[in-house]
Amino acid sequence: MKYSIDYEYTDKDISAWGGLRLVQELMGRIDFRGMLDEAGLPERASNRAYDSSTIIEGFIVSVILGAKCLAHSSTIRHDEVIRKIFGWKGGMASQSTFCRFFKRSSTEGNDEIMRRFNR
């Protein structure tokens, strides 16, 4: 199957990470967000919290862009282009949000989630 992606020049916001559009398209085609929503991720702790799928997406985007630790995510956290590409209303989660989210995870839960994704 061959895909065609149209690109054009514009005076809109730009980002050094605009190529993430391709990553987002891939995630959309495999319904990555839907898979995350059904994966049994830890629930958010408050009404103001990020959705679990948004936290995982942000974490994966950080890793794709070379983050070696959670603190590196702050480099792209406020990038408006990335926020728009992925449709994150509140932007990407902070380092402390990532830490709190991953502390709510268990080894058994992570193993089950990975089994689902490997199918």
CB 76 within 8 A of CB 62: yes
The whole-number average pLDDT for the span 21-43 is: 87
Flag whether 14 is in a domain: no
Query: Using N-to-C axis directions, what is the helix angle for 52-64 and 20-29, rounded to 10°?
Result: 140
pLDDT band at 41 (very low <50, low <70, confident <90, very high): confident
Q: Which domain holds residue 109?
A: 20-42+50-118
Flag whether 54 is in a domain: yes
Flag whether 11 is in a domain: no
Flag whether 88 is in a domain: yes
Longest CA–CA span in the chain (Å) reads 48
Scanning the structure block, which residue is given the tokens 């380092």?
A: 95
User: Rounded CA gap, 23 and 88, in Å?
Assistant: 15
Flag whether 97 is in a domain: yes
Output the pLDDT for position 24.
93
Mean pLDDT, the chain, whole residue set: 83
Torsion sign over Cα 64, 62, 32, 21? negative
The domain tally of the chain equals 1
The whole-number average pLDDT for the span 5-34 is: 82
**The pLDDT of residue 83 is above 70:** yes
Output the pLDDT for position 1.
57
**The pLDDT of residue 46 is above 80:** no
pLDDT band at 37 (very low <50, low <70, confident <90, very high): confident
